[in-house]
Structure 1
């Protein structure tokens, strides 16, 4: 009997030892797989476990945050925007496709309009990707500019969305695509039908069919790859993006009148402005003509609604973006900050020669360049959108770097844009657009409302937990975003302040920026390093500053004592 007990005891000891070894292996931090890899292809296809995963015991060890301030939100066009691809956001009727009512049902997730609660993200602007009737899932080929795509709902649904947004203090802007229409748009169909009816040698008559002048039709297309045959006629039309997207002739006064009427229709419904697609392709390679189009449209919209907001896509470098600001448009997306090779994630990932001082100086240089064209411009910084690799792939699923990137974005001047799902680190893979527009990950346990992936998308593994799980974890990426937006909403200087570099405090790892708005001044310090840092404010002659808020990736606190700021790794602090 004693031998049997001894044998059982030995077996139990061996099992416990093996189990303990396995547990120890699981809790080890994976090695850093980010060694100077800036190749886009590898970033887009990376399948790497996030660095620095913590055990449940470590996750709970969060230093109390004692710096919550009263919200100080100014009702102007400086906003924190949340970009939504309706198709993949939330399905309210069970057909697998996101819809307007789904967006309404999730407004309280974005902003519940109650300053006393802390359960929403705090965004006060929403950009909806195209919502008008279309033949495609992405809806950038419009067939009717005066309605809502039936997959998404009705105009009445949309009116209710506007009302519910405004109740919560959210401004709503919509994608307005007028570089081209769908080839199924009635204007184009009528024009092609008319051309097909012409007898050999007969020239088109604009009085008989004015829609001929709405597009770029020609017989002498010189073999251009951007021209396509117009039905059974011997005419060709321009379609820079796709043969199903014929380009509009924006120089035509009748076209401009149509586009003005459409803009007024949506403004009268209550939208707060527009995002303009592909502005540099209105006349490809003709910058001055494109700037004139933006000036015409901006002037018209402002004549209808003075406080309307417009932001345009000009996918170019800083010099070209600066030139486009001469149109008087309020905002242009700041592409030099974005994507895998942009300032934000390159700095967070510590790639190349980028340093803390470079980060601060680049922000200020861009601000000065853009202000030359429009002194009242509102910057539109972003990290990713529906056309680019998601931040998770840019940072190769390194959660610390994702947080630091988000913190930098949300402490920048202007109106920052966050793509849906970035707040939970949704993943993308490869170059397919469909893989950048996957279903919002609300929950694994409860699949209600989760949409069907777009056709032709791939199965992409999501490395981080869904919304419902991240909400419960104080150290989650979601809660980092929530605090960052909150701090921004508490301190209007962050978005609006005149910037200057605090040279004495900047190093390779530390960035220091002063912002002055009206009679108020703040200092923002960034520790862009994987190690803690101490910064002596006295080196810059700064005194009597207190912490207004901070962001840290690991839950450790930023502290200040006798003029020395102690910052954990990858942390940001606002001082005032």
Structure 2
């Protein structure tokens, strides 16, 4: 692997949700030693890095995204020593380690907030976003929480409201206070000193709010199914101009980058969720003085058309400049891609072709654990839910538990995730036949398709680092070329159940794909793409 300061460009990052990866101590919850135990499996995939979802001390109201101590490991996941051993093992396997940083908000059990809410004149009184009630006692403005209802919660001790963009147990830190910024950066440096190679920044565009607390205007057009829009959640009805994506965010990201640049070969990938996500991604990654990469939710929607993919790519390419994107089609917050894009029909075949598409696009890539198995979304009853988001919006929205169920390592009752304990979320029956031990012996499995295509990506610089030019698309077909120095690759993707025929407009030398991946071919001056197939070919320069 490239160990230079640019290792992250074109890197493939494997997201590990530790709670659901592997339970090493038989308590039903995955942990850091469990990740270390499976490091060989991760390395064998052919990825460049792992991203660990939060393992910090937390009351787990939002399963680790409510941090009570930014500089420690929650006992259910292990200890700081366990993390050190995990980092050492990853590095021995040639893998970088990135960790989540949830800087926008803390838990209401964090000592900072406990002190802040105690009075109006304590040392941390202004460390969170406090505001007086309206004269009639109502909330300060119309801002809404992502999790539903007002983004303000009344605190009887201070007799004020505090801001929470998510759960009311996740108060927002006040980044307008320089002391808060200094303290937050100190926590980042704590992990840098422990040998972390990078950070995934949760809600990276939420840090600052409008000091005047101006009301958000209504959204002029609400299209259900577009980025983050569900009509059962009033959050979708506002244009979020004042509660996030504020211009002051740029200054903080520059301070963060200045700190990171003091350590060798560090990278960042920021999560950006807003109405102008692609533009924000460009702004946050341009100039080599802010974030290294960003990803948005644009490919995490239900729109699986190739026109949507092309439009997303071309929009960011047009405004990116010297910035750099990172793409994902699955993570811990959305339904698994085999279900979301595959509608549970031909799920395994679709998983392979969507994987090949993702790994062929320009940018870095985040892969979520279990996607390499083609896992469908788990189906849970209301009684089995633990996600507060899902509980609040049931049954229209079933929450995020369905993509967070334990990794099936074996096709047994406990899925090889734990020995005899009851897993914290149940293992879906339809996932057991897709367990790692079942797919290892099947050369045509989704697991082998991932491994094989990741090898192809690593051995062709055009796929990792090349420019991109789109040529053709319809709803289910996409063609484009990737160019890097002397190598030009033509890629054609067919995501439908029908054969697709395309005219041959280049002199192509197809690359042999492994048996796990259905291959397109050339016949009688025509590109033939069988159902759910991929063609990767070297373009021969014309004389």
- TM, length-normalised to structure 1: 0.73
Contact 1:425 1:464 in 2 (8 A): no
Contact 1:360 1:512 in 2 (8 A): no
Alignment-derived partner of residue 233 in structure 2: none
For residues 89 and 283 of structure 2, the distance between their equivalents in structure 1, rounded to whole angstroms, comes to 37
Pick the aligned partner of 1:389 from 335, 342, 353: 335
1:424 aligns with 2:376: no
Alignment-derived partner of residue 346 in structure 1: 305
User: How many residue pairs get matched?
Assistant: 462
For residues 155 and 73 of structure 1, the distance between their equivalents in structure 2, rounded to whole angstroms, comes to 25
Q: What's the C-alpha RMSD, in Å, of the aligned pairs?
A: 2.8
Contact 1:424 1:464 in 2 (8 A): no
Alignment-derived partner of residue 36 in structure 2: 104
Deviation per CA, 1:508-551, whole angstroms, max 9, x where unpaired? 765321212233322222234434455554x3xx33x4333437
For residues 485 and 252 of structure 2, the distance between their equivalents in structure 1, rounded to whole angstroms, comes to 31
Which residues in structure 2 correspond to 1:184-223 (within 5 Å)?
184-193=109-118, 195=119, 204-205=120-121, 209-220=122-133, 223=138
For residues 246 and 499 of structure 2, the distance between their equivalents in structure 1, rounded to whole angstroms, comes to 49
Which residues in structure 2 correspond to 1:28-427 (within 5 Å)?
76-78=7-9, 79-111=11-43, 120-136=44-60, 138-193=63-118, 195=119, 204-205=120-121, 209-220=122-133, 223-224=138-139, 225-283=150-208, 285-286=241-242, 287-289=245-247, 291-305=249-263, 307-316=265-274, 317-325=277-285, 328-341=290-303, 345-347=304-306, 354=307, 359-360=309-310, 362-369=312-319, 371-372=320-321, 375=322, 377-394=323-340, 395-398=342-345, 399=347, 400-427=349-376
For residues 3 and 153 of structure 2, the distance between their equivalents in structure 1, rounded to whole angstroms, comes to 51
* Shift, 1:164, TM fit: 1.1
Contact 1:214 1:248 in 2 (8 A): yes
* Shift, 1:459, TM fit: 6.0
- DSSP-derived class of the 1:210 partner: coil
Q: Which has the higher helix share?
A: 1
* Shift, 1:390, TM fit: 0.9
- DSSP-derived class of the 1:521 partner: strand
Alignment-derived partner of residue 438 in structure 1: 405
Deviation per CA, 1:218-277, whole angstroms, max 9, x where unpaired? 333662232323353423322221221111011111111111111111011111111111
Distance 1:73 1:396, change over 3 A: farther
- TM, length-normalised to structure 2: 0.78
* Shift, 1:449, TM fit: 3.4
Pick the aligned partner of 1:550 from 509, 513, 516: 513
- Higher mean C-alpha deviation, range 470-479 or range 218-227: 218-227
Contact 1:379 1:414 in 2 (8 A): yes
Contact 1:439 1:452 in 2 (8 A): no
Contact 1:250 1:293 in 2 (8 A): no
Contact 2:298 2:312 in 1 (8 A): no
Alignment-derived partner of residue 519 in structure 1: 486
Pick the aligned partner of 2:451 from 470, 482, 487: 482
For residues 363 and 381 of structure 1, the distance between their equivalents in structure 2, rounded to whole angstroms, comes to 10
- DSSP-derived class of the 2:468 partner: strand
Distance 1:141 1:551, change over 3 A: same
* Shift, 1:403, TM fit: 2.0
For residues 340 and 502 of structure 1, the distance between their equivalents in structure 2, rounded to whole angstroms, comes to 24
For residues 508 and 158 of structure 1, the distance between their equivalents in structure 2, rounded to whole angstroms, comes to 45
* Shift, 1:138, TM fit: 1.3
Q: Which runs of 5+ in 1 are unaligned?
A: 1-70, 112-119, 196-203, 348-353
Contact 1:550 1:571 in 2 (8 A): no
- Higher mean C-alpha deviation, range 493-502 or range 522-531: 522-531
Deviation per CA, 1:184-206, whole angstroms, max 9, x where unpaired? 1111112223x1xxxxxxxx33x
For residues 294 and 431 of structure 1, the distance between their equivalents in structure 2, rounded to whole angstroms, comes to 35
For residues 391 and 378 of structure 1, the distance between their equivalents in structure 2, rounded to whole angstroms, comes to 24
Alignment-derived partner of residue 575 in structure 1: 537
Contact 2:201 2:269 in 1 (8 A): yes
- Higher mean C-alpha deviation, range 290-299 or range 491-500: 290-299
Contact 1:548 1:574 in 2 (8 A): yes
Distance 1:217 1:92, change over 3 A: same
Contact 2:57 2:67 in 1 (8 A): yes
Contact 1:85 1:129 in 2 (8 A): yes
Alignment-derived partner of residue 386 in structure 2: none
- DSSP-derived class of the 1:280 partner: coil
* Shift, 1:501, TM fit: 2.9
